[in-house]
Amino acid sequence: MLFHIKMTHSTDNCPAYWPQDKQKKFFAEAEKMQEVAKEMNIDIQFMLAGVGHTMFALIEADNFNAINMFFSGMGLKQDYQIEPVGKVQDVISAFKAELAKK
């Protein structure tokens, strides 16, 4: 399943403002994110940083629990909006298949 994820954190929880030792630890862990995701059978299709302490990701995972476990281990307090999504072409194909049955 594909999931679109919007992540937001406050200025107080932003790694850019953390003490240097905490920043180093966090960024070292963040650099291993792809490796950890693969071990959990998660495919990070993209992860982008936006304006205002916001990040976006498109992640493929077997289920919501895998994503929950992945993000809970990140060490960054954030709010998450997780939405299951599908490729538009797949949605169109599904509708066309249903129409063909009628």
Provide the pLDDT for residue 71: 87
- Which residue range(s) make up the domain with 73? 2-101
Angle at 52 between CA 51 and CA 57, to 5 degrees: 60
pLDDT digits (tens, 9 = 90+) for 16-46: 999 999 999 999 999 999 999 999 999 999 9
Picking from 8, 19, 98, the residue whose alpha carbon sits closest to that of residue 54 is 8
CATH code for the domain of 44: 3.30.70.1060
Radius of gyration, CA atoms only, the chain: 17
Number of domains in the chain: 1
pLDDT digits (tens, 9 = 90+) for 42-57: 999 999 998 889 999 9
Percent of all residues in the chain with a pLDDT value above 90, rounded to a whole number:
73
Provide the pLDDT for residue 2: 94
pTM: 0.81
